[in-house]
């Protein structure tokens, strides 16, 4: 059997020709026998796109999901088997590339990547934990239960651990259309569907959501919108570390540090839009999915990166960018200039300060 490799998430047509032994993705995440896989003719892969899984319900964006605090209320597979051994007050924050679970003083993180077609578009990776407990860890079996529920630790077949999000009716748990981002309900219900080779398809966890309060920003701060952020290219003019000292990796006059933001709109109306933050020193570039919250907080996930050699200085700059930006939280402030351009101040939670100037964005 053959399976389309994860490289397909990079969006390259040639990526669908990179295959590894297991199975081929078919309609509704089924598999195809080897003789059903379309042939490669003259270096071109033909008709495999007819077998890409299609979405059957509207997919909520990470931006929408991040607007809510989620609390677990039900866990089971389609046969009614419970997925978590303990009934606990497990809370969830969904942000770019990460599911962040909290229970009392304990925190667990499951990383994920987008790019799969169909109702299970996200690939999962391992569960990490960070304790702020002063004594014994409460509910010590939760990490093991999360590993088992999401099939982490059994990932010897790439792409078999996938999940999808579905927005539910609050009464009968049927899948419903997504709310307008400008008029979100105070309460919401969400299913995280799991598709793997241990629990049957449509295993799920159901969460009750409460809309996060919008934190007030300074009255002197210019409002920041995604449209404005994405309409400009941003050039780093000044930087300092957590001790107020210049970041040496960004101090070369002949190496520009640039940032761009953009949103990909899907062709399928059931698929969610995908917003990307991109940074570079005119070398490989790094970046990941991003969310801009109503409180001007910038959340950035992580994404793939090419590894072309560009010389020590540029590579150091991009290594530093990756450390600062991947899976980061920053506060943004915007100041308009008389020229019609802007100064954007970014303050990551790790203590650095980055000052960007906008310039026209070339197509």
d(CA 28, CA 147): 25
Contact 157, 22 (CB under 8 A): yes
Same domain for 90 and 131, yes or no, is: yes
Question: What pLDDT shows up at residue 9?
Answer: 31
User: In which residue are the tokens 């190496």 written?
Assistant: 255
- How do residues 113-140 score in pLDDT, each as one tens digit? 887 788 889 988 766 766 666 555 566 6
Question: What pLDDT shows up at residue 25?
Answer: 38
Is 242 a domain residue?
A: yes
Is 219 a domain residue?
A: no
Is 299 a domain residue?
A: yes
d(CA 110, CA 148): 12
Chain-centre distance of CA 18, in angstroms? 24
Of the CA atoms within 13 Å of residue 133, those in its CB half-sphere come to: 16
Same domain for 112 and 183, yes or no, is: yes
Query: What is each CA distance from 102 to 24, 132, 187, in whole angstroms?
Result: 36, 11, 19
Same domain for 336 and 201, yes or no, is: no
d(CA 247, CA 268): 43
CATH code for position 197: 2.40.128
d(CA 12, CA 59): 23
Same domain for 122 and 234, yes or no, is: no
Same domain for 271 and 355, yes or no, is: yes
Mind listing the pLDDT tens digit of every residue in the chain (363 residues)? Answer: 323 233 233 332 222 222 223 333 334 444 333 344 444 445 554 444 556 778 888 999 999 999 999 998 887 666 666 666 555 678 999 999 999 988 877 888 888 888 778 888 998 876 676 666 655 556 666 777 776 666 655 444 444 678 899 999 877 778 888 999 989 999 999 998 887 555 445 567 889 999 999 877 665 567 899 999 999 999 999 999 999 999 999 999 899 999 999 999 888 889 998 899 999 988 888 999 999 999 999 999 998 777 777 888 998 999 999 999 999 999 999 999 999 999 999 999 999 999 999 999 986
User: In which residue are the tokens 């010590």 written?
Assistant: 140
- Of 286, 290, 291, 277, nearest to 307 by C-alpha is 286
Is 57 a domain residue?
A: no
The total of structural domains in the chain comes to 3
Is 217 a domain residue?
A: no
d(CA 356, CA 344): 5
Same domain for 41 and 72, yes or no, is: no
CATH code for position 255: 2.40.128.270
Is 30 a domain residue?
A: yes
Same domain for 66 and 207, yes or no, is: yes
Same domain for 287 and 202, yes or no, is: no
Same domain for 183 and 275, yes or no, is: no
Same domain for 28 and 71, yes or no, is: no
**What SS3 string covers the chain?**
CEEECHHHHHCCHHHHHCEEECCEECHHHCEECHHHCCCEECCEECCHHHHCCCCCCCCCCHHHHCCEEEEEEEEECCCCCCCCCCCCCCEEEEECCEEEEEECCEEEEEEEEECCCCCCCEEEEEEEEEECCCCCCCCCCHHHHHHHHCCCCCCCCCCCCEEEEEEECCCCCCECCCCCCCCCCCEEEEEEEEECCCCCCCEEEEEEEEECCCCCCCCCCCCCCHHHHHHEEEEEEEEECCCCCECHHHCCCCCCCEEEEEEECCCCCCCCCEEEEEEECCCCCEEEEEEECCCCEEEECCCCCCCCCCCHHHHHHHHHHHHHHCCEEEEEEEEECCCCCEEEEEEECCCCEEEEEEEECCC
Q: Last residue of a domain, which of 184, 211, 238?
A: 211
Same domain for 69 and 189, yes or no, is: yes
Question: What pLDDT shows up at residue 27?
Answer: 40
Is 221 a domain residue?
A: no
Is 320 a domain residue?
A: yes
Same domain for 205 and 77, yes or no, is: yes
d(CA 179, CA 195): 25
Question: What pLDDT shows up at residue 131?
Answer: 61
Range of the domain at 82: 62-211
């Amino acid at each position: 059997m053959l399976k389309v490799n994860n490289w397909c998430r990079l969006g390259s047509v040639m990526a669908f020709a990179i295959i590894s032994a297991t199975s081929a993705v078919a309609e509704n995440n089924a598999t195809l026998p080897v003789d059903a896989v379309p042939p490669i003719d003259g270096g071109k892969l033909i008709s495999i796109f007819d077998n890409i899984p299609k979405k059957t319900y509207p997919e909520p964006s990470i931006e929408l999901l991040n607007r809510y605090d989620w609390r677990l209320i039900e866990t089971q597979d389609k046969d009614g088997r419970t997925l978590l051994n303990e009934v606990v007050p497990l809370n969830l924050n969904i942000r770019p590339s990460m599911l962040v679970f909290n229970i009392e003083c304990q925190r667990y993180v499951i990383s994920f990547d987008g790019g799969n077609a169909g109702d299970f578009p996200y690939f999962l990776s391992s569960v990490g934990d960070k304790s702020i407990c002063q004594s014994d860890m409460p509910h010590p079996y939760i990490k093991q239960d999360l590993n088992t529920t999401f099939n982490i630790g059994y990932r010897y077949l790439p792409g078999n651990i996938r999940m999808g999000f579905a927005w539910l009716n609050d009464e009968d748990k049927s899948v419903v259309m997504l709310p307008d981002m400008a008029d979100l309900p105070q309460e919401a219900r969400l299913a995280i569907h799991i598709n793997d080779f241990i629990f049957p398809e449509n295993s799920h966890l159901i969460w009750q959501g409460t809309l996060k309060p919008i934190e007030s920003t300074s009255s002197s701060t210019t409002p920041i919108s995604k449209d404005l952020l994405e309409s400009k290219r941003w050039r780093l003019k000044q930087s300092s570390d957590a001790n107020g000292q210049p970041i040496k990796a960004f101090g070369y006059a002949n190496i520009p540090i640039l940032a761009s933001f953009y949103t990909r709109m899907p062709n399928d109306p059931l698929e969610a839009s995908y917003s990307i933050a991109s940074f570079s020193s005119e070398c490989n570039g790094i970046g990941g999915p991003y969310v801009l919250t109503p409180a001007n907080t910038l959340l950035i996930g992580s994404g793939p990166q090419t590894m072309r050699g560009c010389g020590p200085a540029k590579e150091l700059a991009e290594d530093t960018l990756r450390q600062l930006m991947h899976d980061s939280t920053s506060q943004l402030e915007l100041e308009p200039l008389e020229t019609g351009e802007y100064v954007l101040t970014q303050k990551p939670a790790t203590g650095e300060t980055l000052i960007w100037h906008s310039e026209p964005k070339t197509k």
